[in-house]
Structure 1
Amino acid sequence: MTVRTRFAPSPTGLLHIGGVRTALFSWAYAKKHGGQFILRIEDTDLERSTPESVAAILDGMHWVNMGYDEGPFYQMQRMDRYKEVIAQLLANGTAYYCYCSKEELEAQRAAAEAKGEKPRYDRTWRPEEGKTLPAIPADIKPVVRFKTPIGGSVVWEDQVKGRIEIGHAELDDLIIARPDGTPTYNFCVVVDDADMRISHVIRGDDHVNNTPRQIVIYEAMGVPVPVFAHLPMINNDQGVKLSKRRDAVSVVDYDTQGFLPEALLNYLARLGWGHGDDEIFSLEQFVEWFDLKDVSGSPSRMDRDKLLWTNAQYIKAADPARLAARVAGFLADKGIHTEGGPALADVCTLLKDRCQTLVEMADQAEYFYQPLTPTAEIVEKHLDPESEERLKVFAAEAAKLENWDAATIGAFIKEFVKEQGVKMPQVGMPLRAKVCGITNTPSVDAVLALIGREEVLRRLTA
Structure 2
Amino acid sequence: MKVSGHGGSRVRVRLAPSPTGFVHIGNVLVALVDAAIARKFDGAFVIRIEDTDQKRFLEGAEHLIYDSLAWLGIEWQEGPDRGGPFAPYRQSERLPRYHEVAKQLVAQGDAYRCWCSPERLDEMRKAQQAAKLPPKYDRLCLGKSETGRQAFGGYTERSVIRLRMPDTGHTTFTDPIRGEMSFENALLDDRVLLKSDGFPTYNLAVVVDDHEMEITHAIRGEEWLPSTPAHLRVYEALAWTPPVIAHTPLLLNADRGKISKRKHPWANMRWFQEEGFLPEAVLNYLGNLIAFVPDADNPQQGVARELFGFAEISEHFQLGSIGPSGKVVDLDRLDWLNGQYIRRMTLDELARRVDPFMTAAGLDTGNPIFMGALALEQERLKRLSEAPSVLSIFFREEVYAPEALVPKGVTPEGARQMLDGAISVCEGVAAAGEWTAETLEAPFRDLAIALDLTTGKQRGQLFGVVRVASTGRTATPPLFDTMAVLGAETILKRLAHARLRLAGLGV
TM-score, structure 2 as length reference: 0.80
**CA displacement at 1:187 relative to structure 2:** 0.7
CA distance in 2 between counterparts of 1:135 and 1:378 reads 85
Kindly report the root-mean-square deviation, in angstroms, between the aligned alpha carbons of the 2 structures. 2.9
Residue of structure 2 equivalent to 1:81: 97
What is the CA deviation profile of residues 2-22 of structure 1, one whole-angstrom value per residue up to 9, with x for unaligned ones? 222222222222111222222
Q: Which residue of structure 1 aligns with residue 50 of structure 2?
A: 42
Q: Does residue 355 of the first structure (1) align with residue 381 of the second (2)?
A: yes
Q: How does 1:248-327 map to 2 (within 5 A)?
A: 248=265, 249-271=267-289, 273-275=291-293, 276-278=302-304, 279-327=306-354
Structure 1, 309-318 or 324-333: larger mean CA deviation: 324-333
Q: Secondary structure at the match of 2:333?
A: helix
Give yes or no for the alignment of 1:56 onto 2:72.
Answer: no
State the partner residue of 1:392: 423
Distance in 2 (CA, whole Å) between partners of 1:200 and 1:116 is 37
Answer yes or no: is 1:23 the counterpart of 2:22. no
Q: Distance in 2 between matches of 1:447 and 1:419?
A: 19
Displacement of 1:161: 0.8
Counterpart Cα distance in 1 of 2:338 and 2:229: 40
Which residue in 1 is equivalent to 2:397?
371
Q: Which runs of 5+ in 1 are unaligned?
A: none
Q: Which moved more, 1:286-295 or 1:170-179?
A: 170-179
Percent of aligned pairs sharing the same letter? 34
Number of corresponding residues: 454
CA 1:319–1:214: 2 relative to 1, 3 Å:
farther
1:208 to 219, 222, 225: 225
Describe the SS at the equivalent of 1:154.
Answer: strand
Shift of 1:134: 7.3
Secondary structure class of the residue paired with 1:202: strand
- The 8 Å contact of residues 357 and 387 in structure 2, kept in 1 or not, is answered as no
- In the alignment, what sits opposite 2:469? 434
After the TM superposition, which of the residue ranges 115-124 and 353-362 deviates more from structure 2?
A: 115-124
Cα contact 1:3–1:34 (8 A) shared by 2: yes
Q: What is the CA–CA distance in structure 1 between the aligned matches of 2:145 and 2:186, rounded to whole Å?
A: 22
In the other structure, the counterpart of 2:254 is 237
How far, CA to CA, are the matches of 1:179 and 1:373 in structure 2? Answer: 64
Contact residue 341 and residue 369 of structure 1 kept, 8 A: no
Q: CA deviation at 1:166?
A: 1.9
Residues 25-174 of structure 1 correspond to what in structure 2 (within 5 A)? 25-72=33-80, 73-100=89-116, 117-123=133-139, 125-126=141-142, 135-136=147-148, 140-174=157-191
Q: Report how far residue 123 of structure 1 moved.
A: 4.1
Q: Paired residue for 2:503?
A: none
Q: Does 1:14 align with 2:22?
A: yes
Give, in angstroms, the shift of residue 49 of structure 1. Answer: 1.9
Q: 1:338–1:369: 8 Å Cα contact kept in structure 2?
A: no
Q: Which amino acid aligns with 1:259?
A: F
Q: In 1, are the aligned partners of 2:422 and 2:444 still within 8 Å (CA)?
A: no
415-424 or 178-187, which deviates more? 415-424
TM-score, normalised to structure 1, is 0.87
Alignment map for 1:184-195 (pairs within 5 Å): 184-195=201-212
CA distance 1:103–1:387, shift in 2 (3 Å) = closer
Per-residue displacement from partner, 1:124-171 (whole Å, max 9, x unpaired)? 5545xxxx8674567734322334345443221101110012233333
Which amino acid is the alignment partner of residue 426 of structure 2? A
Q: Distance in 1 between matches of 2:382 and 2:76?
A: 30
Asked whether the 8 Å contact 1:274–1:295 carries over to 2, the reply is no
* 1:330 aligned partner: 357
